[in-house]
Every structure is written in C-alpha cells, then in structure tokens.
Structure 1
Amino acid sequence: MCAAPNHRGRPFRPRLRPTAALVVAGACAIGLIAGPAQADGPHPDSKPRPDSQTHPDNNRHDRALREALQGLVGPPDGPPGAIAVLQRGKHVKVYRAGVADLESGRPPHPDDHMRVASIAKAYSGSVALQLVDRGKLRLDDTIGKRLPALPKAWHKVTLRQLLQHTSGLPDFTEEPGFQEAVAADPRRVVDSRRLLDFVADEPLRFKPGSRYRYSNSENIAVALMAEAVTGRPYEELLRRLVYRPLGLRNTSLPRGHLLPRPYVHGYAFEPGQPPEDVSTAFSASWFWASGGVVATPNDMNVFMRAHAGGALLSKATRKQQTKWVNGSSVNPGPGRNKAGLALFQYTTRCGVVYGHTGTIPGYSQFAAATPDGKRSVAVSVNTQLSQQETPELLAKLRKVQEDFVCELFRRR
C-alpha cells in the first residue's frame, strides 16, 4: 500500500498516469560527503559538524558502507539512487550512490526533498503525545469521546491503540473505492479529513487492543483528535510542536502533488518498461497525516533524533511511548521489530534502535536513533520496495539498513 506495507506485505500502487520515457544521463555517481545538517536539534550536541576522522579502519568501514549502497542501485529494477545520513553526536557523514534524477544524472543530496511515506506517522504521533503532556489529550481518550461523528462501532478505540496499531480500524488505502478514486485523478486535492469515509461503513477488524495490525486509518484519526481538542488545523500543530522547536525548515505537509525543489525524484518500475517518474504523480492530500509529509534527509535525521530520543516528551509520556508489543514480520526495517506509540523498536545484530519506516510509490524510507537520541541514521532510496514484488531487493535494503545501524554502535 502507499505509505507502508500492509499486513500481507503488498504495496499500494495506484494506477498512475504514465509519464514520458526517461533516459539515464551519465554514469551513476557514488560518494561520501562529510558535512553539517542544516537544523539544530533539541540536544546540545545535535548540530552536526564534519567528521574529520581519517583512521584507516574508519576508511575501511566507510568504503564498505558506500559499496553496500552501490549494491542497492546496481540491479536493473533497483532504485536509481540511495542516500544515508549517519550521525554520532555532532559528527555527521552522508553516504550516497546513484542518482537523484535520471534525466540530469545528478547525485542525491541531503538537502533534497522527498516523500517520507509512513514516517509521517511519527510526526502525527509526536503532535498527539505532546498534547498528552499538555493535558489536552489522554492516552485513554476514545474516538467516541473526541470524534463522536465517526462510526459508533469505532467509539471504544483509544488514542493509545491508534498510536500502537492495535485499534482494529479498517485501512482506507485497502478499499477498492479509495484505490479507484486515486486512479481516476491521482493529482486531485481532496479533503483529507474525509479519508475515513472510505471505510465508515465497515466494522473493526478485531477487538481493540487484542492484537497488532497496521492500518493507515489510525493516524488520520490521531490527527483529527489533535484538531478536535485544540481547534487548530493539523498542519499548524505540526509547525508549532514539531517544525519550529526542532528548526525543521525543509519539512512540510503539502496538499497538492508538487514537491519543494530541489527534490529526489521517485521512480516506479514495470517489467520491460522504462522507469516512470512518479515524484509528482499524486496529491499528498490522499494520505495526509498517514503518509503525506515531505522532508529532506537532513531534516528527517534531526526529527528522528528528537522523536526516538524522547526529547520532546515528559518522562511519564516517554515511559508510555516505549511500552512495546510485537510488530509485523513484513515491516521493512532491520532486525526484529516491536511497536510502541508512534515508534518502533528494531533489535539488530549490533544493538537496539528506535525509529520508523515507510514506503510509498517512488520512495522507501528508514530513520532511527539510539534510545538516547545521540546517534542516528536515515536511509532513503528512490523507488518503492515490497515483500510481494521485490523481495530480494527488500532483503538487501534491510541488510544495508542494519549495516548502517551497526556503524552507529561501532567504536571509533
């Protein structure tokens, strides 16, 4: 599905209108940049500076990570480009392979915009959890209390269950009516606050709180709850509670199909066909709080350091956020995952990180940080990978993600 794989591992792929055939311009670029991100984070040490470490062992590890990224962009049906931002304290490195744009052949850059896909759910979760800290919301608030106009069958679902994917809400992106509407006019700007209408006549999939099942409907309801208790548009709440405190100058939630420039172009592949540029093929309003956010790798890295590190929350709310339930085996992140509140725990061969993943036509994303928020990584590729359609490439991507996580824990 768009924004995240569903419980069956299928991607949502709207029948997008074909674009003109693209021709690869020049050879794939691969390189390593050492340089600063743009925005300050909440920690005193979060503003990165170039990592000047030149020890031979570091060079060897850098080379291995570059080669791992290059391995992703090598296959014919693989992503044209990949970029990773890795940060320890104030030291940041940017690794990249391939191209951000097949037409120009330029490499991806950490200040290029991208669709962050389901990582958008971490942003809406951050808004809701901060409102919990402010006494505007409670984790046990129900849909019936805050959103009584939604179907009565959903009224016992709590904010906690929405944030942890244990609500049982039917997923609007799986509905034929939604998929037909997107296919009919992908770029149409719709009323995002009516997205749940696509499943309003459906019951819950299971008793709330009884099991885990990812649903894109949940974070639509989260954003609507935030609006209901504040009287403010969700977009404004994002600016007040997330963008401004973290200095995120290149993060936005657009309504239409256009992306801020410069941007990493996202591509879709069909057997025997040239790659299709789907970067601006659909309106972000179709996915809103569940998958519509656009950010740069630099901004995404800064946000995840704060979100995964609990910098924006009280200790009490943070404790609730990190009560875990078993997640899904199809989650395209490294290692084994468990679900917290708008946050996942990834247990890898090298250590535990907190973060989020996302896939959407044109992009696959992973961003995570150590629980203290002092070490972080964001890995992005510019095509959608899925268990059903690209299992080998997805497995390779997971390995690369884990390699970068391991680099966070490596002694320097």
Structure 2
Amino acid sequence: MSPTSARLRRGAMVAVLTSSLLVPLTAGAAPPAVPAAFGSGTPSPSSGPEIRTASPAVAAQLDEAIQRVMREANVPGVTVGVWTPGQQSYVRSFGVADRASGRKMTPDLYTRIGSETKTFTVTALLQLAGRGKVGLDDPIGKYVDGVPNGDRITLRQLAGMRSGLFNYSEDEGFFKALTSDPRRPFTPRELLGYAFRHPVLFPPGRKFDYSNTNLILLGLVVEKESGQRLGDYIKRHILDPAGMRDTLFPDGSEFPRPHAQGYTDQTADGKVAETAGWNPSWGWAAGAMISTLDDLRVWAPTVATGELPDGKRMITADLQRQRLVTPATPIPGAGYGLGIFNVQGWIGHNGSLPGYESLTIYLPATRTTVVVLLNTDIDHDHNEPSTLLGEAITKIISPRHVFNLPAAPAAR
C-alpha cells in the first residue's frame, strides 16, 4: 500500500487517535456515573497561568507562529480565532483562499469540517437517548441489520470508537472508487459494505480503534429513531437552537460561497489536486458537514458543556457527564469520550478530509475557544497542519495546556 493511499484512509477521522492507540475496557461497560471534571484523560498541568492575558504582544507572537508553520508546512491559507470572555479576541486570516487567483483567505469563508461532523451526529444520538428513544447500551443490531457482532456492540461503544469494526475508509476498493471519481456519491449502505467485507478486529469494548464505520451506523440509528434524514434532524434540533445559521449537512457536493479552494495530494496519482468540487458524501455522518469560523466559535462551548447559547440544555446534564468521560490513551494527556476528545484539557474535535482541515477546541477552566481552519490536508513530516497550528497557538496562549497530538505512521 502506498503512503498516499494510506493517508487517504484517515479521510474524515481524527488521524492521530488511531488503531495504534489501544484502551483496554470491559466489553459493554458503562462509564462511571460521576466522572472527573474533564474525564480520566486529563493531564496534570504544569505551573503557570491557565491562559495568558490577551495583549498586542501575545497577538504578535501568534501572528509570527502561525505564519512560521504556514511557511514550513506549505499551507496556502489559514484562519484562526481565539476567544476568552473578558479579553480581547484574536481573529486573523493569512495566505490565500485560491492559489490560482490569489484571492485572500478571509474569516467569512465557508469550509468543510470533516470529522467535526462526528460531534453533531453523536449529539443527535445523545438527544434521542435523553428522550428515551434509544439506550446507549443497546446493541446496534436492535436498530441496524447485518452488522458483524451486532448483538454485542453497543451504541456507546460505537460513539467511543471501541466497537472493533473495520474502518471502511481503509478498504482498497473504497480507495479506488473514491480516487477514480471524487465527485461520485456514496450511500451509507455502500460505505458499510466496504467495512463488513472485513472481519471484526477485536471483541467489542476491548480497545480503542478510530473507525468511520461507527458513525455511519449511528447516523442510521438517528434517522430510524427520529424519522428524519440526519441532516434535517441536526438542523432542526441542534443548529437552529444554537443559532448556527451558516452550518449545514450537504446532500451532495454543494458548497456555499464564499469558500476557499482546497488542496490535497491524496489522489490516485499522488499529484496535488483542487478539491472544492469533490463530493463529501463518502464521509456522511462521520465527516460531510460545512461550517464557518463564527458558527464554530458558538459550537465549541456548546458541545463541550451541553448547554445552548440561550442557557437551555442541548442534552441532559447526566448524558453530558457521560460524554465527557474520556478514557486515557497511550498519548499522555489525550483521551476520547463519546464523539469528543480531551487533549491536555482542551475539549473538542478536529477534522480532515481531502483539501481541508479544521480544529475546534474549548478550555473549560477559562472558557477559551480556539478555532483553526485551513485549505489543505497535506501532511508535513507526517504531521497534520491543523495539529501543528494548534500546538503552536496553545504553546503561546495556554502553556499549561498545549494541544499536542502526534500523528501515527501512515495515519494508521
């Protein structure tokens, strides 16, 4: 398998939390009823301030660090937002949205957010659980037929990436189908077909293994139990209540304007291609959504706290506590809960699919939000550019909480 094809298989996933990260769990075990504040993956912070006070000097340091990463990683364009209540915000765009025209990157652009979609899909599942429509410890076989180990894998294990199901985006046939025609649509059942031709990797709950297959199944559960299409449910019950008017779940390859052109080398021939017109349906409930900087600023505290901007609950307090139980992984300070991670105290998710990357994280201790959006997913020294930027930014603003997720070889 070539390095290029291996990297594409991460697709709409957290590439750094991969099958090499194994978390022993008891099959079917539920999390503790009263978790720690940030879950069991929380690090022991070093001395120093939780967050540095915003100042012109800090802003200048951020400007320099972001542009340095861009030069080193050959990133075309980046938009960054940093917000802490009571402090001056930092919102900057650097570079170009389109290399051909030279159009500048700006904070108002729509972008594909890849695996951040998972946070919305799992939120929908938790809402249904809160209404008694589903049980997190129900087997997936109760809702979807034909799933290997479907009588044993629970919805909780799917949301926590501990099902043992093969990741469809690592299948050779899927890779060939996608790269031969990146504009073609895929159905959820087609995606599951690529996964289910492979044997299960381990008994449910035994260890952590990031798999897009899990979210496709949860998307089908949401549709079945809500009686609505997944995108319609998310709009009505999550986006509209949160006031996120510029976030959407596309039906196909539509992409609102203005948006940046995306650049990837995850192609059949390994050459860099433009991706704005590619169809993200292959990510569906795992990675198809589109958003903006301003909307993701709203989403960061909303998903991290389970509370809508108007103070109402998005999901119940008990289910939010369960969501934020993030069992530790072999990466120090990093854990993964129910469709959300905790890295050195930062709660959120990143996203990556051909041409685009995003990072949306929230530090509860100071209510700080960081959003990073960029128009390439081309790795630099086996590191995702969004991770390099997240690390550079948090080293400056939160030295006790540095977002550092090392990428695994070949994004496995």
Please, what TM-score do these two structures have when normalized by structure 1?
0.78
**Distance (Å, rounded) in 2 between the aligned partners of 1:395 and 1:83:** 14
Partner residue of 1:92 out of 89, 93, 101: 89
**Distance (Å, rounded) in 2 between the aligned partners of 1:345 and 1:228:** 30
**Distance (Å, rounded) in 2 between the aligned partners of 1:275 and 1:216:** 24
Cα distance, 1:404–1:139 mapped onto 2, change above 3 Å: farther
Greater shift after overlay, 287-296 or 397-406? 397-406
Q: Secondary structure at the match of 2:83?
A: strand
Superposition pairs of residues 4-403 of structure 1, within 5 angstroms: 4=13, 5=15, 7=18, 58-75=55-72, 78-89=74-85, 92-147=89-144, 149-269=145-265, 275-280=272-277, 282-311=278-307, 312-327=314-329, 329=331, 336-347=333-344, 352-371=345-364, 374-386=367-379, 390-391=382-383, 396-403=388-395
Please, what TM-score do these two structures have when normalized by structure 2?
0.78
Cα distance, 1:398–1:375 mapped onto 2, change above 3 Å: closer
Cα distance, 1:120–1:404 mapped onto 2, change above 3 Å: farther
Cα distance, 1:373–1:104 mapped onto 2, change above 3 Å: farther
Gaps of 5+ in 2: 1-9, 21-51, 308-313, 403-412
Cα distance, 1:308–1:57 mapped onto 2, change above 3 Å: closer
Identity of aligned residues (%): 29
Contact 1:73 1:80 in 2 (8 A): yes
Cα distance, 1:216–1:345 mapped onto 2, change above 3 Å: same
How many angstroms does 1:57 deviate by? Answer: 7.0
**Distance (Å, rounded) in 2 between the aligned partners of 1:373 and 1:121:** 25
Greater shift after overlay, 182-191 or 171-180? 182-191
Q: Secondary structure at the match of 1:326?
A: coil
1:107-159 Cα shifts (integer Å, max 9, x gaps)? 32222111101111111111111111121121111111111x12343331111
**Distance (Å, rounded) in 1 between the aligned partners of 2:236 and 2:361:** 23
Gaps of 5+ in 1: 10-54, 330-334
Cα distance, 1:231–1:405 mapped onto 2, change above 3 Å: farther
**Distance (Å, rounded) in 2 between the aligned partners of 1:229 and 1:279:** 33
Match of 1:2 in 2: 11
Q: Secondary structure at the match of 1:153?
A: coil
Match of 1:42 in 2: none
Q: Secondary structure at the match of 1:74?
A: helix
Contact 1:385 1:394 in 2 (8 A): no
Q: Secondary structure at the match of 1:325?
A: coil
User: How many residue pairs get matched?
Assistant: 352
How many angstroms does 1:386 deviate by? Answer: 4.0
Q: Secondary structure at the match of 2:398?
A: helix
